Amino acid sequence: MSFTGFDQHITDVLADRYKVLNLQGKGGMANVYRAIQIGLDREVAIKIIHPSLVNDEDTIRRFKLEAKAAAKLDHPNIITVYDVGEASEIVYICLEFLDGIDLAQQIRQDGRLRVDQLLAIMMPIASALTEIHDHSLIHRDIKSSNIFITKKGKPILLDFGIATFKESSSGTTLPGTVIGTPEYMSPEQANGRSVGPESDIYSLGIVMFQCLSGNVPFAGDSPISTLVKISQGIVPELDQQSLEIPQWLYDIVMKCLAKEPEDRFRSANDLLNSLKSKKILETSIAPKSKTANYDAEIIEINKKLNHSKSIDDRIETLKGSGKTVREIYRLEDEIEYLLSIKKFQKNLNEKYQEAKTTLDKSINYLKTRSFEEVMELSQGFSSNYSNIAFYNQYNSIYSLVKRLKQIEELLPKLKVLDNFDKSSENFIKAMFLISSAIEQIKNFDFVGKEDQQEILQNTLHYNDAYHEAIIDHIKNDKIDDAEKKPIIHLLLETIKIQGVETARNQELKDLLIDLNNKHLYKNNKLFKINKSDSQKDYSSPDKVEEQKPSLNFNQEFNNLINEQFLKNQEVKNFLNTDNQTIEEQSLNRIIYLFYSPRVKNNGYQILLNLGKEMAQAHKKHYQNFDSVILGEDQYSFNEFDPAFDLDTDVGKKNWDHSIKNYLQKLKGQRELISSEQLNTVLNQTSTKLLNLFKSYCAQTILKDI
């Protein structure tokens, strides 16, 4: 294959490590290059992930996690991973170079395989799956084209870890959220549920079905509609007689293809033993469930972080995480940051104690002197006084008032300064000093109430203006995120201690959580703050609260797509648009016109109307729930963000921006897409946009529940 400008870019970027020889092939997910590894003089295959699939950091991190895990596997029937890396916005994986054909090609050549041929391939691959599952991992992309047959007849399992890119960054799998054809997905994948080792076993059952019959059992009019058939779980019959399939093998294949995961083989090792024995064999005790992938570990760490009561708790949680997660998420840096915050907090506590000491002296002095006397005496001191001890002893209240007034003058200046190097630190100090001072004045029993009122009138109150100053400061775009990070962290810690008792605190807390999730830790599952978790009271761990049911909108939306949207004729026509038409009319233009809120009677309008009809029909049922599961998060009905409401101009504008933003990234990768791939990419993009649309749909149709 000839090189393009992008191919030359690859060659230049990797020149110090690899000598790229030629482009071996293009796929919907990656390009594969033949190369020589410099220094080792070793022939390798370099798989370059399409940049359009790695447009968020969390996806890249997950890919690295699984690729690194694959590199640790040692099995003769799993392709060897030599290296995984990222350079100049290129994500790549370096693999052993194989010579031969894949199983899909062999089936096309031979029509179908004999039983002995099938066993020679499936037993080693089942053994390879056992190795993967024993390391608490899943492959997630078992299919005939990912099983390679070398010229010596050795079957090799390919592409472990690449399937990371087939799932959305939100952690849910929408029907069709798969690069390429979805014929090998399990019903739980098709229905958007989490997958485990049983899903790999199901997919291998599909491959065995294909080997014996020459065809996969499920095929639809489009990549998305195929999943409708898969989700129903009704497997077509294999003609045992004409295909000469022995009963024992038929039973094994059908067990792999059971709709429910618990009805399949308990492990890949059980499948291997059954193939060897030519009868179904199962262990008497199901193996202990393992973490299917790193998502479970990340979710568990995130939960602990959300429930932590102190910085020390967070540090201990991060230190207790797995080595690979610590490496990929750079947790050592985060631990170092938390230690610096802890030191900063200590300094703030010292400042607090200084303010408290000053205040205590002031109050003791007030008990023996009138406020007028203190103020009159204070006027006799110059600002350049020399006797500090005398000044503190006899004029502490004046000192405190003056100090607070200086802080009050500082707040508006922070919002207009061009240089914010120290603004954040000063701001936090101001907040702590003011709040501690005011609380101390309020809590002490003064001799004269008039004196107390006069003191308070001369100090800065935590009033609406001060609250707005905090909000404005955090929202200020001129302040770098690194500057905001300690503010957000410490304010959240303060609110956690004080509790959310006022509308002010709730507003501030919501803002802090949004900033944390959307800016400081964008697309980062590990450090995401879940509003529903953060609102729970974990101060009494033994306290058992009645758990109210939550509406799983992921499932509702998947059903809406499968049972109604994909069956609409206009939608079918769109998804089956031929490659020539797409090329003539522009891929981006066709997709935009179908999903844009600015166009009437298009796919966007069809789906939104179907969603509203569903909500109206199920309204009484939905009212039995007090929260909604959306993606991996749980929301109460009153937590919905109006910015996602498609009944408003703001919601429509945001959705339109989401479409354009994604299509802009796709436009930059147009040279990677061949004419033959255009319909596949159209389907891929549709699934991505539908996944994005889920949040808009939920917050539009459920807002009145």
pLDDT in tens, 243-254: 889 999 999 999
Domain with CATH 1.10.510.10 in the chain: 100-292
**148-205 confidence digits (pLDDT tens):** 999 999 999 988 655 544 443 333 333 333 433 578 988 887 765 667 899 999 999 9
Encode burial over 613-648: b for 16+ CB neighbours within 10 A, e otherwise.
ebbeeeeeebeebebbbbbbbbbebeebeeebbbee
Query: What's the residue count for the chain?
Result: 705
pLDDT(277) > 80: yes
Beta-bridged to residue 83, according to DSSP, are: 94
Which pair of structure tokens corresponds to residue 319? 């230190």
Is 50 exceeded by the pLDDT of residue 240?
A: yes
- 490 — phi, psi (to 5°)? -70, -35
| More confident of the two residues 420 and 641 | 641
By percentage, how much of the chain surpasses pLDDT 90? 29
- The model's pTM: 0.58
Checking if the pLDDT of 375 tops 80, the result is no
pLDDT-derived band of residue 284, with 50, 70 and 90 as boundaries?
very low
Is residue 353 packed enough to be buried (19+ CB in 10 Å), middle (13-18) or exposed (0-12)? exposed
According to the model, what pLDDT value does residue 196 have? 84
Cβ neighbour number for residue 523 with a 10 Å cutoff: 16
The listed range with the strongest mean pLDDT (84-98, 476-490, 502-516) is 84-98
Q: Where in the chain is the domain with CATH 3.30.200.20?
A: 5-96
Q: What share of the chain is helix, strand, coil (3-state, %, to 5)?
A: 60, 10, 30
Confidence of residue 29 (pLDDT cuts 50, 70, 90): low
The alpha helices in 292-330, defined as continuous H runs, are 294-307, 311-319, 323-328
Give the relative orientation of helices 587-595 and 603-617 as an angle to the nearest 10 degrees.
30
In angstroms, what is the C-alpha Rg of the chain?
Answer: 31
Task: Say what the pLDDT of residue 294 is.
Answer: 61
For the ranges 115-119, 505-509, 690-694, the one whose mean pLDDT is highest:
115-119
Q: Is the model's pLDDT at 448 over the cut of 50?
A: no
What is the structure's pLDDT at 398?
46
Catalytic residues: 141
Distances (CA, A) of 632 to 53, 269, 303, 359, 554: 21, 31, 12, 48, 9
Greatest CA span in the chain, whole angstroms? Answer: 111
pLDDT (mean) for 256-272: 92
Q: What is the CATH number of domain 100-292?
A: 1.10.510.10
| Weakest mean pLDDT among 285-299, 428-442, 505-519 | 428-442
* Higher pLDDT pick, 689 / 137: 689
Residue 479: pLDDT band by 50, 70, 90 thresholds? low
- How many Å apart are CA 245 and CA 115, to the nearest integer? 7
> Domain spanning 5-96: which CATH class is it, in words?
alpha beta
Residue 15 has pLDDT above 70, yes or no: yes
Q: What is the pLDDT at residue 151?
A: 94
Residue 664 has what pLDDT?
84
| pLDDT at residue 56 tops 70 | no
* CA dist., res. 571 & res. 607, Å (int): 10
pLDDT of 165: 45
**pLDDT at residue 26, rounded to an integer:** 75
DSSP state of 78: B
Q: Give the integer Cα–Cα distance in Å for 128 and 456.
A: 74
Beta bridge partners of 94: 46, 83
| The predicted structure's pLDDT at residue 392 | 36
pLDDT at site 591? 94
